[in-house]
């Protein structure tokens, strides 16, 4: 599968980074930065902030590459995790959190953009199917939180629902997604 | 919170992967993961389940300045000490300001570094060799008290097969060959400090046949150059 070849390559580059090889670090950046920058932009909606977060994330990658364990998950997922948490922190630090999404059409773009990436398409198809089994509002909550970095508070505001309800939507959705994906 | 309840552990791992844990709760969760491999695995499994959503973000090429800032920032961490005086090198704001500007700007800042007061523990930057667009390509540094100057690319440089980069010192007379420099960072050319010459000497890198110029003088184009600002 194409995705596995790519994952193997990234793993090899990660090993190079652990050995302090600058060329491996540069190649890792070259392969993954556009996807990571796209993810940061989707969360932050602001180029300069997304650039800063990308810089912070790769600096952390250089420092902490040794903590990546290929037995646990893929290199790309590890990189995304390093980046996403920083992007979400940055987003939360903003004085006021504006509602940046125009409409739920943006969420539908999830499937459209992803079909371009054939090797990742299969994983998304399975996830889409399971997301489709959730009710509309809980599904929105999951997507707004994961893709756009919404906090519980923001979800409550945007979905005009008490925060306790939103929290239990997310928890129940996670349980259902797990059953659907693993089952 | 009871971190032994299997259901709760999995839910927390899911919320961690979602990015929904508040900052402090997340830091606590990360500390727990460091000691609890099974918990770390739960979180990693959640990250893999949700990862397909990441692929739905359209890739966007970041501007080059981001890589430059990353490179400079991490490069300095390889040095034994990182004094304040060269902190600008890793500042993305600095590279944003430099975008499009000539290497003269970088050179001016190198002077600042070289003359910066206070104890200097990190290597001194002697010269920045830039291409014709002013993009820094090689950096010459000298550790305090060291008898040698290290010349290393700041990022991998394109070099055709059967070609070499050769470093020259030019100070009034004919160019003096200093040796071959690598196209990839990490294997710096070490040159006796005396051979590099005093401030004002031009360091240049030319494209030569593999193994270096057969004549002892540059035969190919000069691709990168910069002035020695202090030595």
pLDDT digits (tens, 9 = 90+) for A91-136: 988 755 555 554 444 554 554 444 444 555 677 788 888 998 999 9
Using a CB-CB distance cutoff of 8 angstroms, which residues of chain A are in contact with residue B45? 73
Shared domain for B49 and B96, answered yes or no, is no
For strands B124-130 and B136-142, give the pairing: antiparallel
Shared domain for B200 and B123, answered yes or no, is yes
Q: From B63, which residue of chain A is nearest by alpha-carbon distance?
A: A51
Taking a contact as any Cβ pair under 8 Å apart, which residues of chain A between 8 and 27 contact chain B?
Answer: 20-23, 25-26
User: CB B77 to CB A63 under 8 A?
Assistant: yes
Confidence tier at B107 by pLDDT (50, 70, 90): low
Q: What pLDDT is stored for residue A107 in this prediction?
A: 54
With respect to residue B1, please indicate whether it lies within any of the assigned structural domains: no
d(CA A91, CA A150): 9
Shared domain for A41 and A68, answered yes or no, is yes
With respect to residue B189, please indicate whether it lies within any of the assigned structural domains: yes
d(CA A11, CA A93): 33
Domain boundary among B33, B56, B79: B56
With respect to residue B194, please indicate whether it lies within any of the assigned structural domains: yes
Q: What pLDDT is stored for residue A58 in this prediction?
A: 97
Q: What pLDDT is stored for residue B121 in this prediction?
A: 52
Shared domain for A83 and A135, answered yes or no, is no
pLDDT digit string, tens, across residues A140-167? 999 999 999 999 999 999 899 999 999 9
* Whether residue B13 has pLDDT greater than 90: yes
Structure tokens at B53: 């959503």
Count of all residues that appear for chain B in the document: 231
User: CB B186 to CB A149 under 8 A?
Assistant: no
Shared domain for B32 and B133, answered yes or no, is no
Domain boundary among A38, A64, A93: A93
* Whether residue B45 has pLDDT greater than 90: yes
Using a CB-CB distance cutoff of 8 angstroms, which residues of chain B are in contact with residue A55? 66, 69-70, 73, 92
Shared domain for A6 and A64, answered yes or no, is yes
CATH code (residue A115) = 1.10.10.10
User: CB A80 to CB B23 under 8 A?
Assistant: no
Domain boundary among A32, A58, A93: A93
A36 to chain B, closest Cα gap in Å: 7
Most confident of B81-85, B132-136, B201-205: B201-205
d(CA B107, CA A43): 37
DSSP letters of B100-115?
T--HHHHHHHHHHHHH
Does A108 lie at the interface with B, CB-CB under 8 angstroms? no
Backbone angles phi, psi at B130, to 5 degrees: -115, 160
Bigger pLDDT: B176 or A99?
A: B176
Confidence tier at B97 by pLDDT (50, 70, 90): low
Read off the pLDDT of each residue in B44-61 and give the average, rounded to a whole number.
90
Count of all residues that appear for chain A in the document: 183
Q: What pLDDT is stored for residue B1 in this prediction?
A: 57
Give the residue among B155, B192, B176 at the shortest CA–CA distance from B66: B155
Using a CB-CB distance cutoff of 8 angstroms, which residues of chain A are in contact with residue B14? 171, 174, 178
A59 to chain B, closest Cα gap in Å: 6
With respect to residue A99, please indicate whether it lies within any of the assigned structural domains: no
Structure tokens at B112: 């600042």
Shared domain for B69 and B32, answered yes or no, is no
Bigger pLDDT: A121 or A80?
A: A80
* Whether residue A10 has pLDDT greater than 90: yes
With respect to residue B17, please indicate whether it lies within any of the assigned structural domains: yes
Structure tokens at A81: 């995790």
Domain boundary among B17, B34, B56: B56
* Count of alpha carbons within 13 angstroms of residue B65, beta-carbon side: 18
Shared domain for A9 and A89, answered yes or no, is yes
Contacts 24+ apart (CB under 8 A), B134-140: B134/B101, B134/B102, B134/B103, B134/B104, B134/B105, B134/B106, B135/B103, B136/B68, B136/B103, B136/B106, B137/B205, B137/B223, B137/B224, B138/B181, B138/B205, B138/B224, B138/B226, B140/B196, B140/B203, B140/B226, B140/B228
Confidence tier at B89 by pLDDT (50, 70, 90): low
Full domain range(s) for residue B125: 64-227
Shared domain for B70 and B154, answered yes or no, is yes
Task: Read off the DSSP letter of residue B222.
Answer: E
Q: What's the structural domain count of chain A?
A: 2
With respect to residue A98, please indicate whether it lies within any of the assigned structural domains: no
Domain boundary among A49, A65, A93: A93
Helix (H) or strand (E) holding A77: helix A75-93
Most confident of A170-179, B70-79, B193-202: A170-179
* Whether residue B123 has pLDDT greater than 80: no
Shared domain for B106 and B176, answered yes or no, is yes
Kindly give the interhelix angle for B37-50 and B23-35, rounded to the nearest 10 degrees.
120
Shared domain for B124 and B202, answered yes or no, is yes
With respect to residue A147, please indicate whether it lies within any of the assigned structural domains: yes
User: CB B66 to CB A123 under 8 A?
Assistant: no
Alpha-carbon separation of residue A127 from A91, A120, A143, B26 (angstroms): 26, 11, 11, 25
Full domain range(s) for residue A145: 105-182
Does A97 lie at the interface with B, CB-CB under 8 angstroms? no
Confidence tier at B120 by pLDDT (50, 70, 90): very low
Q: What pLDDT is stored for residue A124 in this prediction?
A: 77
When CB atoms are compared, the residue of B19, B61, B156 closest to A149 is B19
With respect to residue A28, please indicate whether it lies within any of the assigned structural domains: yes
Which of A9-13, B178-182, B214-218 shows the lowest mean pLDDT across its residues?
A: B214-218
Q: What's the structural domain count of chain B?
A: 2
Shared domain for B92 and B141, answered yes or no, is yes
Q: Residue A52 CA to chain centroid, in angstroms?
A: 17
Structure tokens at A68: 């990546």
User: CB B66 to CB A171 under 8 A?
Assistant: no
Shared domain for B19 and B108, answered yes or no, is no
* Whether residue B113 has pLDDT greater than 70: no
Q: What pLDDT is stored for residue A2 in this prediction?
A: 41
Taking a contact as any Cβ pair under 8 Å apart, which residues of chain B between 15 and 34 contact chain A?
Answer: 15, 17-20, 22-23, 26
Taking a contact as any Cβ pair under 8 Å apart, which residues of chain A between 34 and 53 contact chain B?
Answer: 34-35, 37-39, 41-42, 48, 50-52
Shared domain for A85 and A124, answered yes or no, is no
Most confident of A120-124, B4-8, B102-106: B4-8
pLDDT digit string, tens, across residues B180-203? 999 988 888 888 888 888 888 889
Does A63 lie at the interface with B, CB-CB under 8 angstroms? yes
pLDDT digit string, tens, across residues A40-70? 998 998 899 999 999 999 999 999 999 999 9
Read off the pLDDT of each residue in B49-61 and give the average, rounded to a whole number.
89
């Amino acid at each position: 599968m194409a995705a596995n070849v790519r994952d193997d390559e990234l793993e090899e580059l990660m090993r190079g980074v652990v050995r302090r090889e600058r060329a491996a670090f540069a190649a890792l950046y070259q392969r993954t930065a556009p996807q990571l920058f796209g993810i940061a932009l989707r969360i932050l909606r602001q180029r300069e902030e997304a650039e800063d977060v990308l810089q912070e994330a790769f600096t952390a990658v250089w420092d902490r590459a040794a903590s990546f364990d290929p037995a646990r998950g893929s290199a790309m997922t590890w990189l995304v995790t390093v980046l996403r948490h920083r992007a979400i922190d940055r987003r939360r630090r903003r004085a006021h959190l504006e509602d940046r999404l125009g409409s739920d059409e943006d969420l539908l773009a999830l499937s459209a953009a992803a079909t371009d990436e054939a090797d990742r398409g299969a994983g998304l198809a399975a996830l889409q199917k399971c997301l489709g089994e959730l009710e509309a509002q809980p599904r929105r909550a999951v997507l707004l939180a994961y893709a756009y970095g919404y906090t519980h508070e923001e979800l409550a505001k945007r979905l005009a629902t008490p925060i306790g309800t939103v929290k239990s939507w997310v928890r129940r959705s996670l349980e259902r997604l797990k059953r659907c994906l693993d089952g | 919170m009871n971190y032994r309840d299997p259901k709760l552990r999995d839910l927390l791992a899911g919320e961690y992967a979602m990015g929904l844990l508040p900052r402090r709760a997340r830091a606590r969760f990360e500390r727990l993961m460091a000691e609890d491999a099974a918990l770390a695995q739960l979180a990693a499994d959640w990250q893999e389940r949700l990862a397909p959503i990441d692929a739905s973000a359209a890739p966007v090429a970041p501007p080059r300045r981001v890589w430059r800032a990353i490179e400079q920032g991490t490069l300095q961490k390889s040095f034994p000490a990182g004094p304040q005086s060269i902190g600008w090198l890793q500042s993305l704001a600095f590279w944003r300001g430099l975008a499009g500007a000539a290497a003269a700007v970088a050179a001016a800042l190198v002077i600042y570094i070289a003359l910066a007061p206070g104890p200097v523990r990190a290597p001194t930057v002697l010269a920045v060799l830039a291409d014709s667009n002013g993009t820094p390509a090689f950096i010459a540094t000298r550790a305090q008290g060291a008898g040698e100057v290290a010349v290393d690319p700041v990022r991998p440089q394109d070099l055709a097969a059967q070609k070499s980069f050769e470093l020259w010192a030019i100070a009034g007379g004919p160019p003096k060959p200093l040796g071959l420099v690598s196209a990839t960072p990490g294997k710096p050319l070490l040159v006796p400090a005396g051979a590099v010459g005093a401030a004002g000497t031009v360091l240049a890198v030319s494209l030569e046949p593999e193994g270096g110029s057969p004549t002892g003088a540059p035969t190919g184009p000069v691709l990168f150059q910069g002035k020695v600002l202090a030595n």
